[in-house]
Structure 1
């Protein structure tokens, strides 16, 4: 008697309805606008922390310690991101992607508006920095569920051959937000003195976030749920399966290696992006003597270069695969990290611009590939939780630590030592890229394909 074949947990009985080009454009716009709001809020805070927050919220600490404290609040948001990833990933895997993305949008934008209306330390004392920290925690929790969720929503909806292209628009929101945040601060501050800008000018872009919230909410409420999520949910009962009660536990049990590699690969792009948005701005104004407007204009150029890198990385990954792009970007980052910061310490205006643009371009190259790979490497049942949590762990290491310690290491040991420190972080990303499998041709409903 021939023994029965083992049951295959495949996409049998699951039918994924194709999205029309019109539907994909709407989904791409929803991802783009949501990520614009997320990164606009984060970038706005980062640049404002470099320029004015030490005086507004931490004046008692003095200029140097106040700047460290302002950057420290950036770190608070990063630490909160994995918590947000667990919360929104959990309910996104159990209830659906769309509801979570609407919630993250409201939390992120609402916290930014509150910061814009926040009284200064001179008005309410120690309550001001405490409230700023609380709002940063809210922003961090929202951000933890936003980017990975928006990226997987686009990837799950897109045709297989163009996943990189359609997911690219979610990533592009980050680059355009860097442009918009710096341009808004530049426009507001153009007709104001430094004292006026520090007094009230910086608040205007924060309060303007309310307009973006309205636009983003309207667009996200119009989109339909992810077809892969719906198809997987319909197929599970026929396979005798149920949605996981604790997606994070299932993810660590079934795909621990993939989660560690995704965390590692995320370090480099976070480090380069947030050093470009924060540390570069501080060095430009405080050390190189560049004007606020010059630094903000350079930030606009940096955001455009970041966006260019995203386009190149995403579209190239559709043609040659995700892994080659990740290897190229992380390999370049290891070398660039050693070079850029010693040169930055004595750069002129044009040199400062070139260094910033190159740094942001390398970060964008990796972002363009990694955001689509996040969805392809994890199983549908726990994809939101696994991708968001692993990605945000990498962001804690890469986005929070380097900007916080850059000034101290450079002042105490020199820029070369900090460059070596950053290169070691980038090396973790390179080794992770080497360990990752190619995912371009995977079927997002074939759970066997991602368990090897």
Structure 2
């Protein structure tokens, strides 16, 4: 039967129908859709929400409050990770991926319908927080589900490459979200704040429909079907995870602090450049687009390297590089030096951060066996990502006055990136380990 082991057989690998290209495509498109919705919130939180959902008496306080609503989704994400991890490890990855896509689309469309502070007072930010919590629950299961799906469909020795498509999709979602905002931010301020800001949120209905259409025919992974057939799926994955894999969960929590670099780059520095240094919005949004276009090419290339030399050296290189480059990047913004902002932004986010970002799906997923893989990745990453989500809030509070007021933000970002590198250094190297032996002590 030619469909069996279509991706190639290998000693120790589970047999079954593997569709690595289809799984990678579905993960790419689904992640692009999911994170389009997630990232338009980040852009709006930096540029628009402080003015329409919070009192304008104190602009700095309004910015901190707006960033806090961006971060509040990360409070929901660990809880969503436990629930969706249980569903994915017990009933299948596909069910989680369908649910997360629909929930994200609903919550994003809901944000576009909300009244502003002038229209509803304190009810407006309360409703905004509720919608953001729903987004967080959705995001909690999306990447872990997509990563598990692609990892388990991938052929031997190419697992990092195929799982990297999930993160390439995430970058594509950020690009799409930013491109949608560029023409909108060129509108007169009155139009932007009254009705135009809602357009990106309403457009989520269309992109979710595309993602759902692509994912509906994706088959479940062979290794999960094999465990189901043998009745070996965990009754309560969460319990097994913390009995046998608690050290790996902790390892992922600290390694996932690399996400601080992403939110500082895409949210905090955007706000700092536009609101503090008075660099125009389209210019900074263009920096984000170009950096993420470069990342689309860089992520799979780093993943190919990780399939050849291992996950750890690539991840660590990216994390330590970010710890260094965040300094000249924020300095360039503080100087209003546009050529340096573009060059360093592309180098930092597009190239160096992509090393860690493209490799972590394989690095984390290979720490666990099939019974608890989705739970382990989801819980570990979402707790670690929580600090990443609140990084703009923390940085807004750390930001001082004067020309060197940005230095505490750079220190904070560097420390978290170094911690991520040290945590990854303690992991086992698994790029040559067969699928059946992953997560086995």
Shorter-chain TM-score bucket reads over 0.9
Q: How many residues align?
A: 429
Of 75, 83, 100, 1:104 maps to: 100
Structure 1 length-normalised TM: 0.90
In the alignment, which residue of structure 1 is the partner of 2:236?
Answer: 246
Instruction: Tell me how far apart the structure 2 counterparts of residues 435 and 15 of structure 1 sit (CA, whole Å).
Output: 28
What's the CA shift for 1:176?
A: 0.9
Instruction: Tell me how far apart the structure 1 counterparts of residues 346 and 415 of structure 2 sit (CA, whole Å).
Output: 22
1:246-289: CA deviation from partner (whole Å, max 9, x where unpaired): 21221111011111111111111x11111111012111211222
Would you say the 8 A contact 2:34–2:208 is kept in 1? no
Of 411, 416, 424, 1:420 maps to: 411
Give unpaired runs (5+ residues) of structure 2. 1-9
Equivalent positions of 1:103-142 (< 5 A) are 103-142=99-138
Would you say the 8 A contact 1:44–1:182 is kept in 2? yes
Instruction: Tell me how far apart the structure 2 counterparts of residues 277 and 201 of structure 1 sit (CA, whole Å).
Output: 21
Of 216, 225, 231, 2:226 maps to: 231
Instruction: Tell me how far apart the structure 2 counterparts of residues 417 and 342 of structure 1 sit (CA, whole Å).
Output: 12
Would you say the 8 A contact 2:273–2:334 is kept in 1? no
What's the CA shift for 1:312?
A: 2.5
What's the CA shift for 1:338?
A: 4.3
Would you say the 8 A contact 1:14–1:232 is kept in 2? no
Instruction: Tell me how far apart the structure 2 counterparts of residues 71 and 15 of structure 1 sit (CA, whole Å).
Output: 45
1:313-350: CA deviation from partner (whole Å, max 9, x where unpaired): 21111121111101211221232244433443223222
Would you say the 8 A contact 1:152–1:374 is kept in 2? no
Would you say the 8 A contact 1:340–1:419 is kept in 2? no
Equivalent positions of 1:197-346 (< 5 A) are 197-235=192-230, 237=231, 242-268=232-258, 270-346=259-335
In the alignment, which residue of structure 2 is the partner of 1:17?
Answer: 16
What's the CA shift for 1:416?
A: 2.3
Cα distance, 1:172–1:12 mapped onto 2, change above 3 Å: closer
User: What secondary structure, in the 3-state scheme, does the structure 1 residue paired with 2:15 have?
Assistant: coil
What's the CA shift for 1:383?
A: 0.8
Structure 2 length-normalised TM: 0.93
Cα distance, 1:391–1:291 mapped onto 2, change above 3 Å: same
Cα distance, 1:55–1:342 mapped onto 2, change above 3 Å: same
What's the CA shift for 1:15?
A: 4.3
Cα distance, 1:15–1:261 mapped onto 2, change above 3 Å: closer
In the alignment, which residue of structure 1 is the partner of 2:36?
Answer: 40
In the alignment, which residue of structure 2 is the partner of 1:5?
Answer: none
What's the CA shift for 1:109?
A: 1.2
In the alignment, which residue of structure 2 is the partner of 1:4?
Answer: none
Of 64, 67, 72, 1:76 maps to: 72
Instruction: Tell me how far apart the structure 2 counterparts of residues 341 and 189 of structure 1 sit (CA, whole Å).
Output: 23
Instruction: Tell me how far apart the structure 2 counterparts of residues 392 and 347 of structure 1 sit (CA, whole Å).
Output: 35
Would you say the 8 A contact 2:311–2:429 is kept in 1? yes
Correspondence 1:408 to 2:408: no
What's the CA shift for 1:18?
A: 4.0
In the alignment, which residue of structure 2 is the partner of 1:437?
Answer: 428
Instruction: Tell me how far apart the structure 1 counterparts of residues 99 and 397 of structure 2 sit (CA, whole Å).
Output: 37
Would you say the 8 A contact 2:101–2:208 is kept in 1? yes
- CA RMSD in angstroms comes to 2.0
Instruction: Tell me how far apart the structure 1 counterparts of residues 61 and 234 of structure 2 sit (CA, whole Å).
Output: 46
What's the CA shift for 1:390?
A: 0.3
Instruction: Tell me how far apart the structure 1 counterparts of residues 399 and 63 of structure 2 sit (CA, whole Å).
Output: 15
More helix by share: 1
Instruction: Tell me how far apart the structure 2 counterparts of residues 124 and 335 of structure 1 sit (CA, whole Å).
Output: 45
Instruction: Tell me how far apart the structure 2 counterparts of residues 277 and 341 of structure 1 sit (CA, whole Å).
Output: 12
Instruction: Tell me how far apart the structure 1 counterparts of residues 137 and 59 of structure 2 sit (CA, whole Å).
Output: 29
Instruction: Tell me how far apart the structure 2 counterparts of residues 186 and 401 of structure 1 sit (CA, whole Å).
Output: 25
Instruction: Tell me how far apart the structure 2 counterparts of residues 416 and 122 of structure 1 sit (CA, whole Å).
Output: 36
